[in-house]
Amino acid sequence: MTTLDFDALYADYAPAVRSRCRAICGNVADADDALQETFIRAWRARARFDGRHPLAWLQVIGRNTSLELLRKRRPWVDDPMVWLKAADPTSVDPTHRAEAGRLLAEFAIEDAAMLRLRHAEGWRIHEIAEHFGTSQRSVRRRLERLEKRARALLHVKEVA
């Protein structure tokens, strides 16, 4: 594959790969890092690429790169939603556990369950959508709204 061919490959498929990386990473900055690394890895592996199904090939590299990026990321130490990420809420610091109880009382049961599945259980968007019988887009929007509300509620409680 020549440099010219690779430039065309990037021009044709970068938006789709970026979208895939964004869905996995959850934010644009990490998705752009994963996209860049995806094409670096694709360039290095170009001799092994048979030319068939370039989007599928790049999507696999992008998925693996995004997942690696997520595994390497250190969690934010002062994360106010730490209780959502704990596998067992009883193992969380009692202060956080009490805060979680107050916070969960502010949400409908289904909303709290959706947050818990996403953050504590590590369910992917499509799994949550399937579980609740709704679209992935609806789940993404709902989670964004719920997470924003949770942060706002926690911030208010920290100031008080």
SS in 3 state form for 96-133?
A: HHHHHHHHHHCCCHHHHHHHHHHHCCCCCHHHHHHHHC
Per-residue pLDDT of 97-111, as tens digits, reads 566 667 767 888 788
Per-residue pLDDT of 20-75, as tens digits, reads 998 888 778 888 999 999 999 999 998 888 888 999 999 999 999 988 887 776 44
Q: What CATH code would you report for 3-72?
A: 1.10.1740.10
Per-residue pLDDT of 106-154, as tens digits, reads 888 788 878 877 876 678 898 888 887 889 999 999 999 988 888 787 7
Tokens of 66: 């995004």
Contacts of 104 (CB under 8 A, 6+ apart): 112
Q: What CATH code would you report for 82-159?
A: 1.10.10.10
DSSP code, position 73: P
What is the pTM for the complete model shown?
0.48
Q: Could you tell me the residue ranges of all domains in the chain?
A: 3-72, 82-159
